[in-house]
Structure 1
């Protein structure tokens, strides 16, 4: 994938699904490599739980958004699409403000199943969430 193709893909992802959950949480795709996809999400009161820290569900939304998009970016979308079938998320550290960055990488990229790991870090680079996700690849 050329640098121009990577940028076009990031632009597509950042303009896809206006009004949907990922957009409402401010998720912004920032980097695409041959086997990974990264995005940021602001940590504001919008994603807090009652104790004033980021809700675990917000971490899961970022992780699942990255894992799903990673799979679909590397498929022939004229013939296939990928959907999440399992997510396992470990909340390791809390955060109340700032920006988190998530990066999804393939553990296995098979013909019918993709498994990815998603690491979400705070601005200091500390791991706050570790997620694994399974996607089934389905023929259209």
Structure 2
């Protein structure tokens, strides 16, 4: 993928789906490579649970957004679309404020099924969440 293609893809992802959950949580796609996709999300009262830490569901939203978009970026979207069918998320550390960064990478990239691994890290680089996700690739 050329630098121009990367920039175009990130621009598309960051302007896709106004008013949807990922936008409402402030998820911003930041980097793409030939086999990975990264995004950031602010940790503030919008994603807190009652104890003032990031809600586990917010981690899952970031992870699923990354895993789904990773699959859809690397398929022919004229013929197919990818949808999540399974997610397994482990919350390893808590975060109260700042910005978290998630990175999704393929574990398996088949014709009809993708499995990805998503790591979410705090600003210090500590792993706060590890998620695996399965997407089915479906013909339109």
User: What TM-score comes out, normalization by structure 1 length?
Assistant: 1.00
1:52 deviation in Å?
0.3
Q: Say whether 1:109 aligns with 2:109.
A: yes
Aligned residues: 140
Equivalent position of 1:57 in the other structure: 57
| Cα distance in 2, alignment partners of residues 82 and 16 from structure 1 | 16
1:66-81 to 2 correspondences below 5 Å = 66-81=66-81
Q: Aligned-pair RMSD on alpha carbons? A: 0.2
Give 1:122 shift: 0.0
Unaligned runs of at least 5 residues, structure 1: none
TM-superposed CA distance for 1:25, in Å, is 0.1
Residue deviations 1:50-103, cap 9 Å, x none? 000000000000000000000000000000000000000000000000000000
Q: Which residue pairs with 1:82 in the alignment?
A: 82
Misfit runs of 4+, over 2 Å: none
TM-score by length of 2: 1.00
Counterpart Cα distance in 1 of 2:113 and 2:76: 14
* Cross-structure match for 2:131: 131
CA distance in 1, matches of 2:73, 2:91: 26
